[in-house]
Chains A and B, each alone.
Chain A
Amino acid sequence: KQEVTQIPAALSVPEGENLVLNCSFTDSAIYNLQWFRQDPGKGLTSLLLIQSSQREQTSGRLNASLDKSSGRSTLYIAASQPGDSATYLCAVRPNQAGTALIFGKGTTLSVSS
């Protein structure tokens, strides 16, 4: 059974720091991996999606990497800002068919000004 773990559960950093959020999964047979952001009381916003054949994806100050063989992904946030404060969720899609995403419990990030 696929399990997704995110470390750390919470992280506090001062504004301007670069930081890394970690995601690990137990079964390397995945179709893709998505990183989401969730603000308090809100739904999920997709940040980056990495296909199983890809190594990384970039969007602005965000960079996500994928090492499928070791069951790991990282989300790198450059020059963090208070507006980056949110919960970041990692989710894997097991296969191409219409299967549901399997989520980690998230990392809650707080960036202080």
Chain B
Amino acid sequence: ETGVTQTPRHLVMGMTNKKSLKCEQHLGHNAMYWYKQSAKKPLELMFVYNFKEQTENNSVPSRFSPECPNSSHLFLHLHTLQPEDSALYLCASSQESQRNIQYFGAGTRLSVL
């Protein structure tokens, strides 16, 4: 699949579990983003990585831990989440020089029980 691929598409986890979300982009981009999409709320930017370096962390709780091993892969490690963290988590990528033109993955629907 070309573009931005996210796995898994759906995830159910308990509050004590540890899981990871994966994002991979095949567009040759060098900036990657994590967004949280909750019902009736704007897309919330969580993290931004440029050339594997984290450049933004929008006051995200430490129970969310991002990792960017290279420009094509982005992970979001989850531990001790809360039910209110249930949401659609979207990954996006862009060229660093054009951060306003982003391509999104299909998202991971996360449910925290």
Q: Do A and B bind each other?
A: no
Q: Which residues of B contact A (CB under 8 A)?
A: none
